Copies of this chain bind each other. A is one copy, B any other.
Amino acid sequence: MNETHVATLGTLDTHRRVTVVGAGVIGSSWTALFLAKGLTVTVTDPVPDMDRQVHDQLQRAVPALRALGLPTTDLDRNLRFEADLGKAVADADVVQENGPERLDVKQDLFARIEQAARPDTLLLSSTSGIRATDIAQALRQPERLVIGHPFNPPHLIPLVEVVPGEKTSQEVVERAVAFYTALGKKPQVLRKEVPGFVANRLQAALFREAVNLVVQGVVTESELDTIVTSSVGLRWAVAGPFRSFHLGGGSGGLPHFLEHLGPGLESLWRDLGTPVLDEATVQLLSGQADFGASVDELEDARDEAQIKVLQAVSAPSTLAIEPAQKQ
């Protein structure tokens, strides 16, 4: 525990100056977290009003940061803006890129970043779908780049998927993991590059069946949401699907579960729907999207509840093992 703590402090000491490329929602949320953790942040973006955009998002993030126990006074004390990408990264220890989700744009950005940054700057991309292998083709030193894909919003949700490309060096992966860990995030290194990485693929798989059930008229969107928040959502906040089924197998664990309930599970798999998002389906789904309040109000309510749940799962256990921590 003490060793981790020391390593943590060391990592932030040597990764103190961060440049955030792209001042959209993700970039601004990263900025809020970096600032609250005491880092010096330079934001760069070609849009003329990036100052306003970032300040707006910082404002929105303050209640969550405060609830997570982070300091929020004078949050923008160590924040500066620099429209010129080269100048913005020249002095950076870390670059967290959040540009548009297009391969040619990312390649162009990272080629320019590599040229202007120091040779030891850690290069991270927030992309949710483009492979490090592909972006790195534009780099002279492809081993320097790794994906650090957050689950939105980065200042609140712990997961960061760290996805190395074919040429990413082990040292860069380890630095990325140490950096995110020091920020209080939960980095998880993937062993292979797959479209959508892991969290979004799992989310897509559940959502496909959710769409199917609404299209079939089994439940409405609201009813389905209520079912999730009062069952699997609660479960998966504290134990993932494998551990949950391991416990579902009694003293025989997952092997017993698979032996006895595997056939039923396979027969459910065969019955799952494969809807498409054609015009009629999109219209049906959009027509039901009335959640009784404005998006802003719903977002505030969700974030407040999210913080309570985060506090609940991170509270110390009275038992020897903590389900969400120890693996």
Residues of A within 8 A of B (CB): 25, 129, 151-152, 157-159, 161, 186, 188, 190-192, 194-196, 198-210, 213-214, 216-219, 221-243, 245-251, 253-255, 258-259, 262-269, 271-272, 274, 276-277, 282, 285-286, 288-289, 291-293, 295-302, 304-306, 308-313, 315, 317-324, 326-327
- Our pick among B190, B194, B219 for the contact of A190 (Cβ within 8 Å) is B219
Q: Which residue of B lies closest to A156 (CB)?
A: B234
Q: Are A286 and B305 touching (Cβ within 8 A)?
A: no
Q: Are B302 and A227 touching (Cβ within 8 A)?
A: no
Q: Are B241 and A159 touching (Cβ within 8 A)?
A: no
Q: Which residue of B lies closest to A240 (CB)?
A: B225
A233 to chain B, nearest CB (A): 3
Q: Are A324 and B310 also in contact (CB < 8 A) when A204-B268, A236-B233, A277-B265 are?
A: no
A315 to chain B, nearest CB (A): 6
A125 to chain B, nearest CB (A): 17
Q: Are A319 and B299 touching (Cβ within 8 A)?
A: no
User: Which residues of the partner chain B approach A202 to less than 8 Å between Cβ atoms?
Assistant: 206, 209-210, 213, 224, 227-228, 232
| Oligomer copy total | 2
Q: Are B216 and A152 touching (Cβ within 8 A)?
A: no
A243 to chain B, nearest CB (A): 5
A63 to chain B, nearest CB (A): 10
Bound complex: CA A101 to CA B136 (Å):
54
Q: Which residue of B lies closest to A239 (CB)?
A: B302
Known: A190-B218, A266-B277, A308-B312. 17 other contacts (CB 8 A): A191-B218, A196-B268, A202-B206, A202-B210, A204-B269, A225-B242, A229-B236, A229-B237, A229-B238, A229-B323, A230-B324, A249-B295, A250-B295, A262-B282, A263-B277, A298-B323, A305-B324
Q: Are A266 and B276 touching (Cβ within 8 A)?
A: yes
Q: Are B295 and A246 touching (Cβ within 8 A)?
A: yes
Q: Are A269 and B274 touching (Cβ within 8 A)?
A: yes
A248 to chain B, nearest CB (A): 7
Q: Are A203 and B232 touching (Cβ within 8 A)?
A: yes
Bound complex: CA A326 to CA B302 (Å):
12
Q: Which of A186, A234, A265, A291 counts the most chain B CB atoms within 10 A? A: A234
User: Which residues of the partner chain B approach A158 to less than 8 Å between Cβ atoms?
Assistant: 230-231, 234
Q: Are A236 and B238 also in contact (CB < 8 A) when A255-B286, A313-B309, A315-B308 are?
A: no
Q: Are A304 and B318 touching (Cβ within 8 A)?
A: yes
Q: Are A320 and B297 also in contact (CB < 8 A) when A204-B268, A236-B233 are?
A: yes
User: Which residues of the partner chain B approach A266 to less than 8 Å between Cβ atoms?
Assistant: 276-277
